[in-house]
Chain A
Amino acid sequence: MYRSVVAVALGSALLLTACSSGEGADGAGDTELTISEVSFGAVPPKDDVIGQALKKELGLDVKLNAVGSSDDYYAQLSASLAGGDAPDLFQVDRSRLQQFVKQGLVLDLTKYLDTDLKQYTSFVGKDQMKAAILDGKTYGVVKRPQYAYSTYWIRKDWLDKLGLAVPKTTDDLFAVATAFTGKDPDGNGKPDTYGITGGKDADPWAPLWGGFGTGGPGAEYVEDGKIVNGYQDPDTKTALEYVAKLVNAKVVDPDFLSSTLAQAQERAMQGKAGILCQSWPQMTKPEFTASAKKAQPGAQWIQLPPLAGPAGPGAMPYDENFASIYAIPAKVGKDEAKLKNIMKFVEYISGEAGNRLVSYGIEGTHYTVADGKVKATPKLATDGGWFWLYQLTGRDEGEYLGIKFAAQKKYIDFAAKQPLMDTYQSLVVNPEGYNQVDADRYSNEQLVQFISGKKPLSQYDAFVSDLTNKFGYGKYVEGAQQQLTDLGLAK
C-alpha cells in the first residue's frame, strides 16, 4: 500500500514538472527568435555584431544555433521537433521536409507569400521557391542559389613545358593526362606524376559528363523536354567507357577511390597530379595558395571550361536547387505574434538594408559606401567569415562575391559563366518503398567496378536493370518523372 502511494505521488510530481516547465518555455521571450542550421564549423563569435544590429533594427533577439555537421544537426532537429521545442526557423532538405510535412510538424506559408512575405518572394523569385513547394503548398523559405564554383583546374606550366595546348575536348584531355603521366612534366626524372586526381566525396568527372550528353550517373535532367535519369541514359554508358579508358591507361591517381577531395588537392599541390576538379575558393584563397606556392613555386593552375565530347560542346552539371530550405514549426501557427516576428525577420534580410547587413556587416566597420557602391574594408575579410550564417534567404551572389573576393573575380566569373547543364535531383523526394542507402551503395560499388575495368561495360545494361528492379530504383525514377513534371520542368 505504502509503496504504491509513493509511486503515484512520484509519478504525478513528474507530470506536474513536465507541464509547468513546458509552459515556461512557451511564455518566455516574446521577442526571441531561434534559428537552427548546419554551419560546417562556423560559429558567430561572442560579440555578434549582426545579432546586435538585428536587435536594434527589429527589436528581436535572434539566437543562432549552428551545428557543425549535417548528421548531428538532423539528430538534434528530429529530437527537438518531436519534443515540441523546435527552433522558430530550421534548415531542412526537401526529403526531410516532406517527412515533417506528413507528420504535420511544419507550417504552411502559402497564404503569406504575397502579403507578409512579399519582399522575400520578390527577392528569391517564384522559380527558386518551388524547392519548398510540396503538393502545391509552400512549406518554407528558400535560400537563393549560389553560382557554380567547381571546374577542372590544370597545371598550365606543365602544359607549356610539354608543348601542349589547353585541352578543349575529351580526346585532348586524354592526351594531356597521358603526357602528364608519362612525359615527366616536373622534370625530376622520376615517373611520379599522374594526369588526373580526385576524391571519393566529390565527382572527379563532373566536367566531362556534358560532352557525352549526360548529367552523370544519378542525375535528373531535361533532354528534349523530357525528364531523363542519369543511369538510364545510354549516353552515360559511353561516358563511363571514356572514364574507364582513362583509369585503365593508368593516368588517374589510383587514390581517387579512397581519399577525400581535400587530400587529393593536397597531392595536386605537392605536384603529383596536373588536373583536378575543385571549387575556386579552395584553389585561389590566399590561405591555400601561400603554402602551395612554397611547395611548388612554379605551379600555375588555370581553369578549364567543360570539355566538348562526342555529343557536342561540354557543359557542367549543376543542381542549383540544392539551396537550403528553412521551415517554421506548425505550432507557431497558433502564436500570431511570433509568426509575425519570424516573417518580419525573413522580410528584413530579404530587403536591401537587411541583406546588406547580413552580407557585409556594419557600415563603416566592415564596408563603406561610395556612389551607392559597397566597398569592403579589410575587416570584412578578417571578421566576416561567419556572416553567411544569417543569409537565410541568400544574397546577391554576383555582387557579394565581387565585393568580398575582389581578388578572385576572374576565377569566380569563369566558374559562374561556364556552360551549365541544369540537374534537378535535389528537388526529388524519395518515394515510399525506395531505400536510397541500399541503392546508393549498390550503384557506387558497381560504378567503381566499371570505371576500374574490373567489369566490362557490356554488363552496364544488366546493372541498370538490376538497380531498377531489385533496388526499387524504378520507383525513384518514376517518382522523379512525376514530381519534376508536376513542378513544370518537363513539357
Chain B
Amino acid sequence: MVTLVRTRIKPRAGTRGTTRISSREDRIANGIVYLALIVVAVVCVFPLLFVVAASITPYGEVLRNGGYIVIPRSITFDAYRELLSDPAIPRALSVTVFITVVGTALNMLLTTLMAYPLSRKDLPGRSAVLLIALFTTVFGAGMIPTYLIVKATGLLDTVWAMIVPGAVSVFNVLIMKTFFEGIPEELVDAARIDGAGELRILLQVLLPLSVPVMLTLGLFYGVSHWNEFFQAILYVRDQDLLPLQVVVRNLLARSQATENADAVLPLVTVQMAAVVVAAIPMIAVYPFVQKHFQKGVLLGSVKG
C-alpha cells in the first residue's frame, strides 16, 4: 500500500518576507526536492491511474491504439455496467462491507480490552499472559488444525469464519499496549484519586488520548478485512458468502481458461473495473486516517 506523507510547512506569523531570506541556493534545493517528490508521486500514482484509465476506455479503442493510453480519448462505463450486472459483485460487496465493519468493531473492542489490562504494571500474572500471547505469534497452529477448530466450533460456511479466527491480532495488542504505557501514569493516578474505576479510566482518560493509535490499528484491521481472501477460500463454500476479493479473483481466473470451449472470458476492461471496485474504497479511506499516523502522541496533556 502506498503511504504518502504530507508535511505542511507554515511560515510563522509575522516572519514572512521580513526576516526569512530565501537565497537562490535555497530555491534551487527546494526545486530539486519538489521535482524528486513529484517523480515519486507519479511513480506511485501511475499504476493506479492506468488501471482506472483501462477500465473506462472502450475496448475497441484499446485495440486500435495498440495499447492503453493514460488519458483515454473517449470514456465509457460499459465495463462497470457489465461488472455490476453480475449479481455476484454487489452481493460480494455487501459481504465484504459486513465483515469489514463488524469485524473491525470486534477487533478494536477485543484488542482494547486485552491491551489495557496488560499495560497496567500492577496486573497479577501479566508477564505470563504476555508470554502466552507472544507464544502464539511464534508457533501458529497451522492451516489444518485451525480448520479443525473452525469446523468444530460450527463456524464453517458462515461469515463469522472470516471474522472470529483473527479477532485479536497479538501484534496489534502489543502496539496498543505500548501506546497505553506511554501515557503518563500521573493521568491515571489523578483519575483514580477523583474516584474513577478501571472502566472509566479506560473510556474517559485513555481512549480520548489514544485516537491516533485507535485509528491506525482500526485501519490495519479494516484493510485486512477488506482484503479478506484466504480464510474465505478455506472456510466458505456458499457462493453467497464469498467476499469481494474472492469474486474478483474468480473473474480474473477466467482468463486462464483458454482451453475451455465454454468459458466466457471477461474483457480486460471488465477485469480492470473489478480491480478498481475492489481497491478504491480503501484507497479513499487512507487520506482521512493518514494525518493521525504522524500526529504527536500526547498533545500537551501533562504540563510542566
Contacts and interface: CB of A to CB of B under 8 A. Distances in A.
Interface of A: 14, 17-18, 21-22, 36, 39-43, 46, 63, 65-69, 72, 75-76, 78-80, 82-83, 85, 146, 149-150, 201-202, 260-262, 266, 269-272, 278-279, 281-282, 287-288, 291-292, 294-296, 384-388, 401, 404-405
A385 B152 contact: no
A415 to B, nearest CB: 11
B27 to A, nearest CB: 43
Nearest to B248: A68
Interface in B227-249: 230, 233-234, 237, 239, 246, 249
Contacts of B252: 41
A296 B257 CA distance: 25
Interface stretch (B33-41, B141-149, B287-295): B141-149
Interface in B183-236: 230, 233-234
Contact of A40 (B88, B153, B237, B256): B256
Contact of A387 (B237, B239, B257, B262): B262
Contacts of B237: 36, 63, 65
B256 A69 contact: yes
- Give the 10 A-B CB pairs with smallest separation, nearest first: A295-B63, A68-B250, A41-B254, A40-B257, A18-B152, A294-B60, A68-B253, A41-B250, A79-B147, A69-B253
Contacts of A281: 258, 260-261, 263
Contacts of A404: 261-262
Contact of B154 (A21, A271, A295): A21
Contact of B258 (A79, A261, A287): A261
A414 B73 CA distance: 40
Contacts of A83: 144, 147-148, 151
A40 B263 contact: yes
Contacts of A80: 147
A150 B143 CA distance: 39
Contact of B261 (A149, A262, A287, A288): A149
A295 B64 contact: yes
A72 B264 contact: no
B66 A270 contact: yes
20 contacts: A14-B152, A17-B154, A39-B250, A40-B256, A40-B263, A41-B251, A42-B257, A46-B87, A63-B237, A67-B233, A68-B253, A75-B233, A78-B144, A79-B234, A82-B147, A271-B66, A282-B265, A294-B60, A295-B60, A404-B262
B261 A266 contact: no
B299 to A, nearest CB: 42
Interface string B42-61: 00000000000000000110
Contacts of A269: 63
Contacts of B268: 266
Given A40-B263, A79-B147, A281-B263, 20 more contacts: A17-B154, A40-B253, A40-B254, A40-B256, A40-B260, A42-B254, A65-B237, A72-B246, A83-B147, A83-B148, A266-B62, A266-B63, A271-B66, A282-B258, A288-B265, A291-B59, A291-B60, A291-B63, A295-B60, A387-B262
B140 interface: no
Contacts of B256: 40, 69, 201
Contacts of A202: 258
Contacts of A266: 62-63, 268
B26 interface: no
Contacts of B249: 68-69, 72
A398 to B, nearest CB: 12
Contact of B262 (A42, A72, A260, A282): A42
Contact of A388 (B234, B260, B267): B260
B67 interface: yes
A385 B263 contact: yes
Contacts of A288: 265
A149 B269 CA distance: 26
Nearest to A281: B261
B259 interface: yes
